[in-house]
Amino acid sequence: MKIICVLISFVFVNVSADITPYLQLIAVTNKHIQIAYQRNYDIVGNGLEYVIKAIVCENVFTIEKMNFMIAVPEYASIAVNQRLASIDHQFNMQGQILMKLGIPVPNPANLRNYFGNLNLTNLGVLRRRFTKKALTNIIRRELIGNETDGEPERVTFSEKCLFLGLWMSTNIPTFYTKSAVTGTNSDCVITDIANHVMVYRSIEGKYWQVDANDINHRIILLDEQLY
């Protein structure tokens, strides 16, 4: 926790004058996420998948905050128009990994070569390199796995919808998810920041993307979109 406190002070002092400390904070969080992704545990399985699942299922963060923690850190300062608020999202992600897995936050002093040529776009791409894989695995297990294997439900349909919304953000970050809610027809309605709407629902034991204006019209199997 001392590392976090030192980094907080460093960022707060410098953030108004230079974006570099903010970029370094995202880079440190990316490294933290990478370490969690590379860890596997006997009880909880993959570390990053476990953390992301806990973030969604504990219902503490809004979809906006989860997006900036998991999928699109490069858009946080633009969306909230306040860099100190966007900094908070990175500390939230670090805190979740630390609390859930006990993995300490990487020391920035040991990551000088990791920082490289920092820019927001590259940092977002690197974040999604790990989080998209983790979300894909969660969706395969919690949506498609339950449907095909007949296993008992481990998460609610509302939580499944949030997983889909976050996964969509990793697929199309420039139009990341604004809301992911369950509709009146037991479907998942995902709306992005440009107000494009995508709908998913279970039909005959399989999840499909369906036409937003005609939910009985099947577009593509979710399973096919994951590859």
Range of the domain at 197: 2-225
pLDDT score of 139 more than 60: yes
Burial of 169 (0-12, 13-18, 19+ CB in 10 A): buried
pLDDT score of 109 more than 70: yes
pLDDT digits (tens, 9 = 90+) for 47-56: 999 999 999 9
Give SS3 for 42: coil
Provide the b/e sequence for 110-123 (b: ≥16 CB within 10 Å): eeeebeeeeebebb
In the prediction, which pLDDT does 111 show?
82
Residue 5 banded pLDDT, cuts 50, 70, 90:
very low
Q: 102, 47 in Cβ contact below 8 A? A: no
Q: What is the number of structural domains in the chain?
A: 1
pLDDT digits (tens, 9 = 90+) for 59-68: 999 999 999 9
What share of the chain in percent tops pLDDT 90? 68
